[in-house]
A and B are shown apart, each in its own frame.
Chain A
Amino acid sequence: MPLYECNEHQFVENIRRIIETSEKFLVNRRINLHDDAKYGPATLPDEEFEKYSKICARKSLKSTVFSKVPFIDDFHKRMFNQGENLHGSSNLIFPRMSIPYYKVEYSVNVWGSTYFFAFDALFNPGIVMEKRKGKLLGNGSLIYVLKYTPPDERILNINLPKEVMVFDVKNMIKVIDYSSNF
């Protein structure tokens, strides 16, 4: 069964074409949380990296990122000291500070072929100062805390007319159809 990858524009336009034929069809959607160190601060474009600039610094895109101040990564329950290497330029595929994201996959089956569009939606970073206790912080010290909030669910959606049914799925299990061999 062929699998065709589309970009957003192609996927939406393909769905529009199916709607215009009045064919009945179903769109499947899979949304999974990932925190597999796929994204780290060194590989973010400047506009996105700016959101982390209170706590870390880098010379340019893909150069090593160091912490500017001690901070707590609230999502991973981990503390970083000042000057720690958060994402090394020589090890871009293994950042020490991982950015969580939702992997969103949309697919539609037409005449035995699957057309899909996938994207990752990064969690939004928020940096606040909080009083925290701990072994290293004593009875209570003010420290920067990095908190991630998931992207707005409406942003994860592809806007589709109400007549189009979207089914959420956990996984797609590929079935091999041998019936045509007989």
Chain B
Amino acid sequence: MRHKQQLKSISVFVSLRKVEVSLSEIGFLLVGSSTIVADGKFWKKMLYINGEELISVSEEIGDAYPKDPIITICGSKNTILKVMDGVKN
């Protein structure tokens, strides 16, 4: 059964590594990345896919501190809860 897709964007003060591990644990695979410029800053934008669910993660490139990757989730309510749980401090 196809779950209704929901949308959520979160900004988290955890390392990109922790986000990557958390996404891989729930079955998301990295399918591509690119360098983008937004708000006058350079970001690495990565796209993860699991079936019809999509998650993009944008992290500022360079020595910026604190690092707060932006995670945009387009997926089921269950996936959103799992991601938010997985990246808790």
B47 x A154 contact (CB < 8 A): yes
Q: Is A7 interfacial (CB 8 A cutoff)?
A: yes
**A19 to B7, alpha carbons, bound, how many Å?**
9
B6 x A161 contact (CB < 8 A): yes
Residues of B contacting A44 with CB < 8 Å? 42
- Indicate whether A15 sits within 8 Å of B7 (C-beta atoms), given known contacts A45-B62, A155-B33, A161-B74: yes
Q: Is A119 interfacial (CB 8 A cutoff)?
A: yes
**A90 to B85, alpha carbons, bound, how many Å?**
48
Residues of B contacting A16 with CB < 8 Å? 6-9
Interface size bucket, A side?
20 to 34
Q: Is A73 interfacial (CB 8 A cutoff)?
A: no
Interface residue ranges of A1-60 to B (CB < 8 Å): 7-9, 12-13, 15-16, 19, 39, 44-48
Interface 9-mer from A62-70, A79-87, A120-128: A120-128
Q: Is B26 interfacial (CB 8 A cutoff)?
A: no
Q: Give the top 5 A-B pairs by smallest Cβ distance, nearest first.
A: A159-B74, A12-B9, A119-B38, A151-B34, A161-B5
Q: Mark B45-74, 1 if CB is under 8 A from A, else 0.
A: 101000000111010011000000010111
**A122 to B34, alpha carbons, bound, how many Å?**
7
Q: Is the interface of B mostly helix, strand, loop or mixed?
A: strand
Q: Is A78 interfacial (CB 8 A cutoff)?
A: no
Q: Is B14 interfacial (CB 8 A cutoff)?
A: no
A residues with a Cβ closer than 8 A to B are: 7-9, 12-13, 15-16, 19, 39, 44-48, 101, 117-122, 124, 151-152, 154-155, 158-163
Q: Is B37 interfacial (CB 8 A cutoff)?
A: yes
Residues of B contacting A8 with CB < 8 Å? 9, 38, 58, 70, 72
**A12 to B7, alpha carbons, bound, how many Å?**
8
